[in-house]
Homo-oligomer: A and B are copies of this chain.
Amino acid sequence: MEVVVIGAGVAGLGVAWRLASAGCRVRVLERARPGAGASTAAAGMLAPVSEAELIEDSALELKLESLRRWPGFVASLEAASGVELEYRGDGTLVVALDRDDAEQVRRHYERMVELGLPASWVSGEEARGMEPLLSPTIPAAISIPSDHQVDPLRLIEALVVAVERAGGVIESGVEVEEIEVWGGAARGVVGRGADGAEARWAAEVVVVAAGAWTRRLRGLPGRLGRAIRPVKGQMMALLMEPEPVLRRVVRAPECYLIPRRDGRLILGATSEERGFDERLTAGGMFELLRGAWETLPITYELPLLRSWTGLRPAALDNEPLLGQTSVSGLVMAGGLYRNGILLTPITADVVSEAVLSGAQPALAAHLSPRRLE
């Protein structure tokens, strides 16, 4: 089977790896370079429950299942690529900064208990016993000792190697403009090659994994072309020196802090709806720096290495779009929003199953793109 995948982020590469391994002829077409969209801008936390999703979350089961698949995914991807993913399980603290936060964090904790997720409620003092440089004003926290993180740069690097070793081809710097559909079926895509010349790529199946840039593709059925919007996140990296100031991931109301093995401390992330404006702003940087300072005051002293932004792809209902559209051979792996890294294993599995079987997998029954056509 001849497959074209639009987008070399974690979604597109994961699906491409599975399909190439299953014997399909796979070509991944990438606008910029692998991971250049939301994937490598991401923090890499593997957390299925967050503040934003306490009330309703129809993808929760999918997230929990993806989380369960992560250890196996790491093992097989590291074996296939030879790249170490920095899959770390040092745990997470979800902290409250004051008594008002504490109520919200408490609801978060109760939700985790309800879901049977491993978490414990700790006092501020206990939290500082675990991470001594946390702010003395923190009244309480959730400790999630089993929480993992992964380095998104390593993940992309590994997926690129795995796709290519499985026989897939990745073309970077090409612009896909339109999906060719006739007789109710996808026939390929057209756009511009890396040399700027018009180009056409024929395919029996087209997988759309273009993230926020899905909005710029022509040829999607019905209203699907407008169903994904970009949600900007601003982030920065500090340098922990002379030694790490944090071991666990810490999530505070306005900011999360993620220590990496190489000495970086990643701060993220704002959430702004400004279309395709990818620029850093004074306000975004200010909120991250303030959030970090209130949570872990020593961050004030640390060198600033770099700041960047990413555009998260969010569907109109903020849930993933996975599987068959109403057009035969046109499949989506999109709208992963805040959970692209967490959902990488399940997206690869579910969407490749949709391609190979031609049917909507049960796990993603309610996440079909048809709901937004």
Contacts and interface: CB of A to CB of B under 8 A. Distances in A.
Interface string A281-308: 1111110011011000001111110010
A165 interface: no
Nearest to A277: B303
A279 B307 contact: no
**Copy count, this protein chain:** 2
A281 B304 contact: yes
Contacts of A283: 293, 299-301
Contact of A293 (B238, B282, B299, B303): B282
Contact of A289 (B289, B292, B300): B289
Of A283, A299, A300, A307, most B-chain CB atoms within 10 Å: A283
Give the contact-size bracket for chain A: 20 to 34
Of A303, A304, A307, most B-chain CB atoms within 10 Å: A304
- Would you call the interface of chain A mostly helix, strand, loop, or mixed? helix
Of A280, A281, A292, most B-chain CB atoms within 10 Å: A281
A276 B318 CA distance: 48
B303 A279 contact: yes
A84 to B, nearest CB: 29
Nearest to A304: B280
A288 to B, nearest CB: 9
Nearest to A265: B282
A300 B286 contact: yes
A113 to B, nearest CB: 35
B304 A282 contact: yes
Nearest to A284: B304
Contacts of A286: 286, 289-290, 293, 300
Nearest to A267: B282
A122 to B, nearest CB: 26
A233 B286 CA distance: 18
A289 B307 CA distance: 15
Contacts of A290: 286, 290
A34 to B, nearest CB: 27
Contacts of A285: 285, 289, 304
Nearest to A241: B279
A285 B236 CA distance: 12
Given A238-B282, A282-B300, A285-B304, 4 more contacts: A280-B304, A282-B289, A286-B290, A304-B307
26 contacts: A238-B282, A279-B303, A279-B304, A281-B301, A281-B302, A281-B303, A282-B292, A282-B293, A282-B300, A282-B301, A282-B302, A282-B303, A282-B304, A283-B293, A283-B299, A283-B300, A283-B301, A284-B304, A285-B285, A285-B289, A286-B286, A286-B289, A286-B290, A286-B293, A286-B300, A290-B290
